[in-house]
Chain A
Amino acid sequence: AQTVTQSQPEMSVQEAETVTLSCTYDTSENNYYLFWYKQPPSRQMILVIRQEAYKQQNATENRFSVNFQKAAKSFSLKISDSQLGDTAMYFCAFLHPPGGTSYGKLTFGQGTILTVHP
């Protein structure tokens, strides 16, 4: 079974600085998707960034970028120029690939609480 591990229960960063959240996963699949979701205190899950495993180029979305290391099964999120609004729980998630019986199922890590201090 696929597993996703986030080893940092909590992180903090000063406003305008850079922070990196870690995620590792375990799978025997070759084609899959990885995500970072943000869950602010409102509890609304918001997609931050998506990476397709067959793409070697790391995904970027404005201040958010990932370091995807497929062989190491590592998928970290870097937040640059941190803002107070980035304070939230961040989840790393794995999407089972198409064609399998679990396609469409997201497996989440335990989450990392990020606090941005002014």
Chain B
Amino acid sequence: KAGVTQTPRYLIKTRGQQVTLSCSPISGHRSVSWYQQTPGQGLQFLFEYFSETQRNKGNFPGRFSGRQFSNSRSEMNVSTLELGDSALYLCASSQRDREYEQYFGPGTRLTVT
């Protein structure tokens, strides 16, 4: 079975722009979670989607949004980028009722200049 894939792997954007990151879960997994990893704040939960519905949301401003498609693929969008949004964005997928088995993707490294 293929693992969790994230695209693109690396991205450079300018302040004020917007960006969309993609996450394809393991086949059969319907839950996708997103995390932001920075040296200062560590790993922080962004949001979680299940069956196209956002189930949980972390403490991030409204500039951070996401969605999930019927094939369970998920995208997250960050509008009006700020320098502090530079981070590694990780997604993880799991099966229904097996959220204790989350499998992580390789991450997308976003640099905002």
Contacts and interface: CB of A to CB of B under 8 A. Distances in A.
Given A43-B106, A44-B104, A45-B104, A103 B99 contact: yes
Interface residues of B, number: 26
A46 B50 CA distance: 22
A91 to B, nearest CB: 7
Interface in B23-73: 31, 33, 35, 42-45, 48, 50, 55-56, 58
A80 interface: no
A105 B45 contact: yes
B111 interface: no
Interface string A81-116: 000000000010001001001111111111100000
Contacts, number: 58
B102 A106 contact: yes
A76 to B, nearest CB: 19
A43 B43 CA distance: 12
Contacts of A62: none
Contact of A106 (B35, B50, B107, B109): B35
B56 A50 contact: no
Nearest to A32: B100
B81 interface: no
A27 B7 CA distance: 35
